[in-house]
Amino acid sequence: MVIANNPVIAIGGPKTNKLSAEFDKWKPTPPSKEGTYQIPATGPRIGTGFFRKNQAGWPQVGLWGINRSANTARKTVEYYFKNE
């Protein structure tokens, strides 16, 4: 797969983005902090984030909203970029 050794950001939920679906099913090996997480980490949830490093050590990120609305996906992406 082309993305296996490249950094990537997948936008859109598992129902609309095959890569996000893969990210959503992926489970880290404990005690890793990689995998899915709530955005924002505190307060009302607006979306889901995903993070892992690939075999080459590059980041792979997924971001999607809490519903199929483009608005929540946009808010999730904005939150991610403003709040590392």
**pLDDT at residue 2, rounded to an integer:** 73
Q: Is the pTM of this model over 0.95?
A: no
- DSSP 8-state class, residue 8: E
In angstroms, rounded to a whole number, what is the distance separating the alpha carbons of residues 65 and 44? 12
* Distance set, CA 14 to CA 35, 48, 55, 57, 63 (Å): 14, 10, 22, 24, 10
pLDDT confidence band for 1 (50 / 70 / 90): low
3-state secondary structure of 40: coil
Encoded tokens for 49: 């984030």
Angle at 70 between CA 61 and CA 48, to 5 degrees: 35
Domain boundaries, the chain: 2-26+33-82
pLDDT confidence band for 44 (50 / 70 / 90): confident
Across 9-35, average pLDDT:
94
Encoded tokens for 65: 């909203």
